[in-house]
Homo-oligomer: A and B are copies of this chain.
Amino acid sequence: MHHTLHATCGPARCGQLKFPSHKTVETPTFMAVGTYGTVKGLTPAQLADTGTEIMLCNTFHMMLRPGEQIVADQGGLHRFTGWGQPMLTDSGGFQVFSLAEKRTIDEAGVTFASPIDGRSISLSPERAIQVQQALGADIIMCFDECLAYPSTETEAQHSMERSMRWAKRCQIEHSAHPSALFGIIQGGFSTPLRRQSTEILTDMDFPGYAIGGLSVGEPKPLMYEMIRSITPMMPEDKPRYLMGVGTPEDLLYGVLHGIDMFDCVMPTRNARNGHLFTSQGIIKIRNSQYKNDPTPLDPQCGCYTCTHTSKAYLHHLQKTKAMLGSTLNSLHNLSFYQTLMRTLRQHIQNGSLFEQIPHIAQRFGINPSRCMHLDKMHSARPNFLAILN
């Protein structure tokens, strides 16, 4: 995988990931989450129509069903799912720690009971790499320990150190495989531990680095503080991936601080619940105020949903629990996210990102008062608060 930077604007950067398959991804990018090898309710063609260029699959789910061997036999995730574009798999670690029952953890790895049939399954750094190589994504992730929030400094230190030892074992196991293995920075909410973790991983020289262990229940300002602290430590010439984040506001914040990659279930999960992101802010389409509303969901959006249907129809679909509601809502929310990302990339390219923040906030329904912390944390741009007000 090659990562090229095309332009920067303050700490923000835009560029391109180019894969051995010759497929490319423009960064900063938002990755749609396709848990079981499908972004729920969308065909690969519909997913591409949203502007999505890279899809994330969950290793934990795919190893349970259908099992990585089936996917490998079927020619890997790209062929199996029909999504011919770039893919990333997580390591399974996050789900093992958050979903699996009866799990036991030691230095070797984790053993847990399958939530499908109760059988005992082990996942170790080596096994996580083997499974991901069998799945065949373009980018794969180190297996790390995911710390609960809150935790003590000592717990965070021990957990981070174990994750760093596991990262080394992942790298050794990964060997010369053509996929790109990313290291994951851990260390809880301690800046010194995060620094230590970043240095250890940078010394190992991964083709990309992720920030793990955020968006785990901590207050939003604390997450932003960590993003602000960690990003300047990360190598400039490698892609930076903020895992499991987040809202449109979080994406804006992350991009302003030099993040290149995001993933989150939010646009699709919220879509299924009728929680829609628009230029006018959040629309909860179940609300009876929309039952006879002929206007498009978001008049500023060019997606299929907004150009072919009305709020009244989406309301009806939500009330009747129609599958098509989930599909149309997901098409919109993902298109909305991808339009935000494209807009951010354009403004980085043009060098206009910072002065455009008020317009971006308005266009994407981001409450400017919520963005004020952006300024407080962005000492390089003293006029930012003034711009926002």
Q: Which residues of B contact A66 (CB under 8 A)?
A: 291, 312, 315-316, 319
Residues of B within 8 A of A316 (CB): 36-37, 65-66, 70, 80
Interface 9-residue window, one of A138-146, A232-240, A322-330, A338-346: A322-330
Nearest Cβ distance between residue A120 and chain B, in whole angstroms?
21
Determine whether A320 belongs to the interface, using a CB cutoff of 8 Å to chain B. yes
Question: Which of B70, B80, B328 is close to A43, meaning CB atoms less than 8 Å apart?
Answer: B328
Kindly identify which residue among B73, B291, B313 contacts A292, using a CB–CB cutoff of 8 Å: B73
Asked if B309 and A82 make an inter-chain contact with CB atoms under 8 angstroms apart, the answer reads yes
CA of A28 to CA of B312 in the docked complex: distance in angstroms? 34
CA distance A38 to B324 in the complex (A): 7
With A74-B292, A322-B40 already in contact, the answer to whether A82 and B313 are too (CB < 8 A) is yes
Q: Within the assembled complex, what's the spacing in Å between the Cα atoms of A38 and B320? A: 10
**Chain A residue total in the interface (Cβ 8 A):** 40
Whether the pair A313, B42 counts as a contact (CB closer than 8 A) is no
A102 at the interface (CB under 8 A from B): no
Within 8 A of B (CB), among A26-73: 36-38, 40-46, 65-66, 70, 73
Tell me the smallest distance from the CB of A34 to a CB of chain B, in Å.
Answer: 9
Which chain B residues border A37 with CB–CB below 8 Å? Answer: 313, 316
For residue A179, CB closer than 8 A to chain B, the reply is: no
**Is residue A149 within 8 Å, beta carbon to beta carbon, of the partner chain?**
no
Known pairs A73-B292, A82-B313, A292-B74; A65 contacts B320 (CB<8 A): yes
A294–B73 Cα gap in the complex (Å)? 9
A323 to B40, CA, bound (A): 6
Known contacts A66-B319, A82-B308, A308-B82: A74-B313 contact under CB 8 Å: yes
Chain A 77-98 against B: per-residue CB contact (8 Å), 1 yes, 0 no? 0011110000000000000000
Bound Cα distance A43, B44 (Å): 14
Alpha-carbon gap, A273 to B15, bound state (A) = 45
Asked if B80 and A310 sit within 8 Å, CB to CB, the answer is yes
Minimum CB–CB distance from A299 to chain B (whole Å) comes to 16
The 8 Å CB contact of A312, one of B36, B46, B74, B294, is: B74
For A44, give its contact among B74, B291, B308 (CB under 8 Å): B308
> A80 near B312 (CB under 8 angstroms)?
yes
B40 touches A310 (CB 8 A): no
Docked-complex contact B80 and A41, CB < 8 angstroms: no
Q: How many whole Å from A317's CB to the nearest CB in chain B?
A: 6
A38 and B322 contacting across the interface, CB-CB below 8 Å = yes
CB–CB A43/B74 < 8 A: no
Chain B residue numbers with a CB within 8 Å of A310 are 74, 79-80
A323 touches B327 (CB 8 A): yes
Interface residues of A (CB under 8 A from B): 36-38, 40-46, 65-66, 70, 73-75, 79-82, 291-292, 294, 304, 308-310, 312-313, 315-317, 319-320, 322-324, 326-328
